């Protein structure tokens, strides 16, 4: 039998899932487990916005394709929301409904990247953005600024400036930040977006956790430079619908047609039922659900942080912190293995940038009291 032909080389730099072997071990754990490694919610979506609420009597043909662009009713609801949030005169053509923010960001990467183009990524970062850039033959360049490396807008600017090259085409940021739980200060965002404009770079702003702000001001990047900014949003977090795979991109109209081309060829259309569920959530109980979730998440986050001796998170659903002091000769891997032996899974720092001794913990992945028991397990392992 001949050898299979070769595979593409650019994927070699993307690690296979670092969780999968640990997650398998967790699946075999006999007692109560604490899968706090994935960003998800323990809450069911609001009543009226679940799959069971979407019938063919009310929505005939709801299992057929939706248009690649997105359903008109959903586009209109998104336009209305983003107009109000950003003070921009948006239209349907400024929006792409996508298979989650992930699908949308893939469409952005596919539309703007030539092979070898570089994207500056503020670190620590959402792990998938690195692989999204690589999947479309770009090169991610981490700029570590959000885990205490710098303490001013000027220093953040200097950090991106040092890493800009002739191949740099975009700057990616996320606020409220996954994984650090921080909000990017207004001065930082204004400085960074202005810098991107001066150097004619795209700005990609991932604000999928903007429903979960516990203290401080969430600053939107889109209105600062709408001619070059892609806003990534999703219904996954705000409405607890991650499995529905429905999010969207708002961006410069002139290039949205290019994003639609990539979307067409990577997921075709966003699930029709997911789009109907999003419309129902936006028009109905979604925001009340999100407000209740926000209070709940904030409380759990504060208690988890306090137990671990960390500052309370300002937003998102994560804690991200250095555990170097508690590591033995077997390093971070040893700690993660001891955690799994006790039913706890957290995400390793290197997934988020150059953080060999950090971990990320999602305190909303399971019910609050159970999450806090998982935090207790971790505190024990860390001697805190």
Binders in 36-65 for a copy of itself, by CB under 8 A: 38, 40-41, 44-45, 50-56, 60-65
Q: Is residue 192 a contact partner of residue 160, using CB atoms and an 8 Å limit?
A: yes
Residues between 304 and 363 with contacts to a copy of itself, criterion CB under 8 A: none
Selected from 269, 317, 351, 364, the binder of a copy of itself by CB under 8 A is: 269
185 binds a copy of itself (CB under 8 A): no
The angle subtended at Cα 63 by Cα 264 and Cα 235, nearest 5°, is: 65
Judging by beta carbons within 10 Å of its beta carbon (0-12, 13-18, 19+), is residue 22 exposed, middle or buried?
A: buried
CB of 111 to a copy of itself, least distance (A): 6
CB within 8 A of 139, min separation 6: which ones?
Answer: 116, 117, 118, 119, 133, 167
Selected from 2, 31, 328, 383, the binder of a copy of itself by CB under 8 A is: 2
**DSSP codes joined into one string, 302-341:** HHHHHHTT-PPPSBSSEEEEE-GGG--TTHHHHHHHHHHH
* Alpha-carbon span 110 to 133, nearest angstrom: 8
92 binds a copy of itself (CB under 8 A): no
Nearer Cβ to a copy of itself (36/381): 36
240 binds a copy of itself (CB under 8 A): yes
Nearer Cβ to a copy of itself (199/330): 199
Residues between 276 and 305 with contacts to a copy of itself, criterion CB under 8 A: none
268 binds a copy of itself (CB under 8 A): yes
Both structure tokens of 380: 């024990």
Query: What secondary structure letter does DSSP report for 216?
Result: S
At which residue do the structure tokens 């039998």 appear? 1
Q: CB-side exposure of 342: number of CA atoms within 13 Å?
A: 17
- Is the alpha carbon torsion for 370, 375, 381, 384 positive or negative? negative
111 binds a copy of itself (CB under 8 A): yes
Selected from 37, 82, 103, 363, the binder of a copy of itself by CB under 8 A is: 103
Phi, psi of 34 (to 5 degrees): -135, 80
Residues between 121 and 160 with contacts to a copy of itself, criterion CB under 8 A: 128, 131-132, 134-137
364 binds a copy of itself (CB under 8 A): no
Q: Is residue 361 a contact partner of residue 346, using CB atoms and an 8 Å limit?
A: yes
Residue 202's SS3 state is strand
Q: Which stretch binds a copy of itself (CB under 8 A): 110-118, 144-152, 297-305, 338-346?
A: 110-118
9 binds a copy of itself (CB under 8 A): yes
Nearer Cβ to a copy of itself (44/330): 44
222 binds a copy of itself (CB under 8 A): no
Q: Is residue 53 a contact partner of residue 363, using CB atoms and an 8 Å limit?
A: no
CB of 275 to a copy of itself, least distance (A): 9
Nearer Cβ to a copy of itself (43/382): 43
76 binds a copy of itself (CB under 8 A): no
Selected from 164, 197, 303, 370, the binder of a copy of itself by CB under 8 A is: 197
Number of residues located near a copy of itself, criterion CB under 8 A? 86
Residues paired with residue 322 on neighbouring β-strands, in sequence order: 358
């Amino acid at each position: 039998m001949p050898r299979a032909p070769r595979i593409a080389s650019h994927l070699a730099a993307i690690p296979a899932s670092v969780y999968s072997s640990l997650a398998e071990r967790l699946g075999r754990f006999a007692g109560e487990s604490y899968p706090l490694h994935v960003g998800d919610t323990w809450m069911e979506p609001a009543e009226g916005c679940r799959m069971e609420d979407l019938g063919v009597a009310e929505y005939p043909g709801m299992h057929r394709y939706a248009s690649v662009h997105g359903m008109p009713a959903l586009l209109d609801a998104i336009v209305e929301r983003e107009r109000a949030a950003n003070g921009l005169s948006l239209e349907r053509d400024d929006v792409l409904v996508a298979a989650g923010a992930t699908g949308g960001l893939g469409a952005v990467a596919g539309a703007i990247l030539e092979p070898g183009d570089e994207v500056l990524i503020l670190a620590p970062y959402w792990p998938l953005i690195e692989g999204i850039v690589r999947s479309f033959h770009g090169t991610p360049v981490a700029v570590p600024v959000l885990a205490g490396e710098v303490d001013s807008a000027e220093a953040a600017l200097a950090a991106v400036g040092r890493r800009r090259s002739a191949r740099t085409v975009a700057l990616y940021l996320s606020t409220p930040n996954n994984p650090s739980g921080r909000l990017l200060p207004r001065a930082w965002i204004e400085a960074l977006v202005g810098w991107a404009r001066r150097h004619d770079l795209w700005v990609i702003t991932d604000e999928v956790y903007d429903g979960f702000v516990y203290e401080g001001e969430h600053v939107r990047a889109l209105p600062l430079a709408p001619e070059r900014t892609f806003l990534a949003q999703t219904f996954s977090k705000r409405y607890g619908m991650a499995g529905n795979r429905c999010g969207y991109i708002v961006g410069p109209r002139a290039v949205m047609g290019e994003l639609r081309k990539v979307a067409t060829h990577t997921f075709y259309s966003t699930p029709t039922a997911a789009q109907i569920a999003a419309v129902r959530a936006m028009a109905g109980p979604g925001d009340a659900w999100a407000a209740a979730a926000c209070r709940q998440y904030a409380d759990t986050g504060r208690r988890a942080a306090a137990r671990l001796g960390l500052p309370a998170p300002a937003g998102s659903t994560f804690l991200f912190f250095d555990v170097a002091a508690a590591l033995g000769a077997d390093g971070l891997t040893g700690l993660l293995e001891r955690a799994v032996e006790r039913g706890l899974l957290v995400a390793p720092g290197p997934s988020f940038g150059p953080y060999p001794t950090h971990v990320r913990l999602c305190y909303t992945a399971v019910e609050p009291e159970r999450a806090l028991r998982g935090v207790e397990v971790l505190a024990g392992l860390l001697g805190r």
